[in-house]
Structure 1
């Protein structure tokens, strides 16, 4: 089994935000606007709850769109489903739009929730898979973390996986008025 130190040395570089050093994906340039926004969100959610669940998924599109209406529609419906299933809880999300060699964009999303209420990714994955009508949600791309704010090594692993959303490569193939990403505010359902 590979040690954590070996993993971080080989696959990570380090990113400083608010005087805290976090491991991020080494392979790509990191967009500071996205990474800082995600870290700020994580800090704020940990102010509300001691445990957090982060579920990272990919959304494939069956056709290109000139806007982000599909992902906006998904989160509008997902918030309703989560509230109906879990009741009162804190949540938020991040999405990024990417396009590289394909003729259509795809999205990477992270759903961040109160780990006191949500214990695993299965239900959230099922909700997203059911609601995503614009293509498909590949199951092999799920990254899942349930962490306590005081377990720094687990929070670091979660930040590392979230940093993939902040990669600069494959963003920008869109109209000038269309966003590359969105980070929600903390939503109390």
Structure 2
């Protein structure tokens, strides 16, 4: 059973965050998974670059295979270009008034290696066009957050909470997921 919350704040791992639960509410398990992956990145890196974008499909699909292809290509490029050891991410599938689903994305990257997304955005747009989708980059699409800086992390989490909104979810084949996240594990001793 899916748990939808309309709470304006959530406590996760002992920290309380303001979330954007207006109107349809938020899928709490989805949001907790997303915030957990961001938290994990902050155990590995004292600075994390968060980039928000969307992928729009030209035709409906019953599965999320396009996301697997997109992520595989993007992660390969990121690891080669920036020598990243890990790529954190979260995505959410939605279908509202359009006939085709779209995906909201957030990337969590080592902020010591990338802090401005201009080249990354070009690559996202290129990969999207190669796999017959289009990418949309919203205004104010990125955050540079620092471990221990509640305000910078809070701003990113407020934005991430939009991905977990209940509206537009569930219109999919039974076996298809509404969202996905990276599976990064926390660093046991904090590194810079």
Q: TM-score range by the shorter chain?
A: 0.7 to 0.9
Relative distance call for 1:95 and 1:142 in structure 2 (3 A) is farther
Offset of 1:178 from its aligned partner? 0.6
Higher helix share: 1
Over 6 Å off, 4+ runs = none
1:70 corresponds to 2:66: yes
Could you tell me which runs of 5 or more consecutive residues in structure 1 were left unpaired when the two chains were aligned: 1-11
Q: Is the 8 A contact 1:86 1:117 kept in 2?
A: yes
Match of 2:86 among 84, 87, 90: 90
Relative distance call for 1:181 and 1:172 in structure 2 (3 A) is same
Using the alignment, how far apart are the partners of 2:46 and 2:34 within structure 1? 17
- How many corresponding residue pairs? 176
* Aligned-residue CA RMSD (Å): 1.6
Q: Is the 8 A contact 1:56 1:110 kept in 2?
A: yes
- 1:24: which partner in 2? 19
Local SS of the residue matching 2:37: helix
Residue pairs, 1:143-162, within 5 angstroms = 143-162=141-160
Using the alignment, how far apart are the partners of 1:20 and 1:147 within structure 2? 16
Using the alignment, how far apart are the partners of 1:32 and 1:84 within structure 2? 34
TM-score for the superposition, normalised by structure 2: 0.86
Could you tell me which runs of 5 or more consecutive residues in structure 2 were left unpaired when the two chains were aligned: 1-6, 186-192
Instruction: Give per-residue Cα distances to partners, 1:134-189, cap 9 Å, x unaligned.
Output: 321123356210111121111100110011111111000001001111111229xx
Match of 1:166 among 141, 160, 164: 164
Greater CA drift, 80-89 or 58-67: 80-89
Greater CA drift, 116-125 or 169-178: 116-125
- 1:59: which partner in 2? 55
Using the alignment, how far apart are the partners of 1:56 and 1:167 within structure 2? 15
- 2:95: which partner in 1? 99
- 2:43: which partner in 1? 47
Using the alignment, how far apart are the partners of 2:38 and 2:8 within structure 1? 19
Instruction: Give per-residue Cα distances to partners, 1:108-131, cap 9 Å, x unaligned.
Output: 011111111111122221111111
TM-score for the superposition, normalised by structure 1: 0.87
Local SS of the residue matching 2:97: coil
